[in-house]
């Protein structure tokens, strides 16, 4: 079984830029909405305008050990806009099902040593004030707690020293989480190669 990892945070806090510490031959990148990476390189394997179907076709026979879906919430957003004229609640059920099925496929069908990183925007929960993965409506939240589908959720932010970091555990207001002992500290650099290495060492992949 593969491993899905969520890296969540606001736009501009270093989620996508963390990819540049990976070698181009180490990672495949699915760009769902954006057309360019936030750093200069022509060597990365980037699939633009990625959809569930495109991602699914690659995952039928993965050639790499690491993939990034950037920004994964647009898989839901784009489907919602494509079906904006549909009435009723069925489309929201479908939105939740399609996103959940992608995560489930990664977790159950990909080879053991394949890790898929979901770069995902966050929002503030209007009821609790907590920071959570962005979705497309309350009905979807009620049907699918997105972070519950992941064993590892890193929260991308800028700390008090103006450093771009990943937070590895929740402070009660975010949904960050990681297995005990996987990371050495509450904050780590926004370095995807570091994250990938730590995960592989921890699970002996």
What is the pLDDT confidence band of residue 202, given thresholds at 50, 70 and 90?
very high
**pLDDT of 70-108, one tens digit each?**
999 999 999 999 999 998 888 888 998 999 999 999 999
Domain ranges for the chain: 3-203
What is the average pLDDT value for the chain, to the nearest integer? 93
pTM: 0.95
Q: Domain 3-203 - what CATH class?
A: alpha beta
CA angle 80, 140, 180 (to 5 degrees): 120
């Amino acid at each position: 079984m593969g491993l899905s990892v969520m890296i969540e945070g606001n736009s501009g806090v270093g989620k996508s830029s963390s990819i540049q510490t990976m070698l181009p031959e180490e990672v495949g990148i699915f760009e769902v909405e954006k057309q360019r990476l936030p750093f200069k390189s022509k060597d990365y394997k980037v699939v633009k305008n990625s959809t569930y179907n495109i991602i699914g076709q690659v995952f039928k026979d993965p050639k790499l050990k690491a993939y990034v879906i950037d920004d994964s919430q647009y898989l839901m957003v784009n489907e919602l806009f494509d079906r904006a004229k549909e009435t009723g609640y069925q489309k929201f059920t479908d939105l939740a099902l399609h996103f959940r099925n992608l995560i489930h496929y990664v977790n159950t069908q990909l080879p053991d040593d394949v890790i898929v990183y979901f770069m995902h925007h966050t929002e503030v929960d209007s009821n609790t004030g907590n920071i959570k993965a962005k979705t497309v409506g309350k009905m979807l939240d009620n049907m699918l707690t997105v972070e519950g589908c992941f064993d590892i959720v890193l929260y991308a932010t800028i700390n008090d020293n103006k450093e771009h970091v990943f937070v590895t555990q929740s402070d009660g207001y975010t949904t960050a989480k990681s297995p005990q002992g996987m990371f050495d500290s509450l904050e780590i650099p926004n370095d995807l190669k570091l994250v990938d290495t730590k995960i592989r060492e921890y699970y002996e992949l």
